[in-house]
Amino acid sequence: MKKNKISKNWINKQRRDIYVRQSKVDGYRARSAYKLIEIDEKFKIFKGGLSVIDIGAAPGSWSQYALKAAKSGKLISVDLKKMEPIGNSVQIQGDFTEEKTQEEIKKNINGNVDVVMSDMAVDTTGIKNIDSIQTGELCKEAMFFAKDLMKDNGYFISKIFMGGTFNEIVAEGKKYFKEVKVFKPKSSRKDSKESFIICRKIR
């Protein structure tokens, strides 16, 4: 009974959500596209010809926007789940935290990349501090991987949860990058602890 009630609440929430409705109009696979759009509007990241790696890409709305905004650039989308194809992007199915998946990404790169972005998060437990720590570990792993593949003035974008590891991740970002900002888009749900860390210019 409780599960049905939660499920019904979620459906009602989705119906009322303007970003869910807008994503259907604009042809995006998920409302999360608008988070990246807001990040781009604020930080002016995407332009024609960029090379982009999207980690934790499924269902693909960030990749959709990146491909549209980067125009003739190269896009590599990585996720545990199989995704519907997106334009002429390279899709890699696998666990990003495994070495073989990271090697597969590297094989598909020709030179350093302009943007590495990650909307990865663990399946939430509902215990906010545990969720924050586990998603924080994914963010750190993505950051560590990105710093060796990016152009000097490239961008790293990642989901980050407010909580136990927040300050540690920001400090880690400042170790590798000259510019580090934290931003919460309006399209993030009000009850969500998520923000996004935007890092630029490799040290």
Beta-strand runs (E) in 59-149? 75-79, 90-93, 113-118
> What CA–CA distance (Å, rounded) separates 128 from 124?
8
Question: Which residue, among 160, 125, 163, 167, has the nearest Cα to 141 in the 3D structure?
Answer: 160
Q: Cite the active site residues.
A: 159
In the structure encoding, which two tokens stand for residue 73, read together? 């650039």
Other C-beta atoms closer than 10 Å to the C-beta of 106 total 12
